Amino acid sequence: MNKVKKGVGYFILLAPVIFICHFSEEAPGFVLWFNQHVQRGINYRLFWDVNISALVITAIVSFVEFFTPSAVTGSIVILWFSFLMLANAIFHIAGSLEDRAYMPGLITAVVLYIPFYFFIIRLIINKHRIRLPLVLFIACLGASPMLIHGYMIVFLGERLF
């Protein structure tokens, strides 16, 4: 029980649920949106494969932090959530602003991802005593691939994979 108190506690277990909410919002329209922006589009199978893989990673990262909290597991959470939530939210906001229209996934990115991300990061800093400069470095490292990919999609009409 002490380990749960040391870490971010039960809050971390909301991450897979929040991710499911996000890709549930995306699912009906994201593939169409994507294919309107990128000539080398995607299909629904790739969409689901990517999202199911990300869900599995999110669950593993969340459970590891929950059951064995440490500065290392907190750092892994920062790294993964910066990619999955922070950079993805920026991608949805940028896509919506560029299109001047709703992008599938925008609502959960803004309403769920951003507040949850910063709440968890704050808990990790406080509970694991990770200093802010290291948090910022890890966050930038984690967010970079999604930010690059999102930029390519929204502004260049290309994709990484």
Residue 3 pLDDT level (bands cut at 50, 70, 90): very low
The answer, yes or no, to whether residue 84 has pLDDT greater than 70, is yes
Share of the chain above pLDDT 70, in %: 96
Share of the chain above pLDDT 90, in %: 93
DSSP single-letter state for residue 69: -
d(CA 91, CA 88): 5
Residue 2 pLDDT level (bands cut at 50, 70, 90): very low
Chain mean pLDDT for the chain: 95
**Which pLDDT score, from 0 to 100, does residue 139 have?**
98
Return all residues near 129 (Cβ < 8 A) that are at least 6 apart: 71
Nearest Cα residue to 114 out of 13, 7, 18, 3 = 18
Mean pLDDT of 58-85: 97
Q: How many helices (H) and strands (E) does the chain have?
A: 9, 0
**Which pLDDT score, from 0 to 100, does residue 129 have?**
87
Tokens of 140: 């930038």
d(CA 68, CA 60): 12
Angstrom CA distances, 155 to 77, 101, 152, stand at 29, 15, 6
Tokens of 101: 């229209």
- Read off the pLDDT of residues 37-57 as tens digits, 9 standing for 90 and up: 999 999 999 999 999 999 999
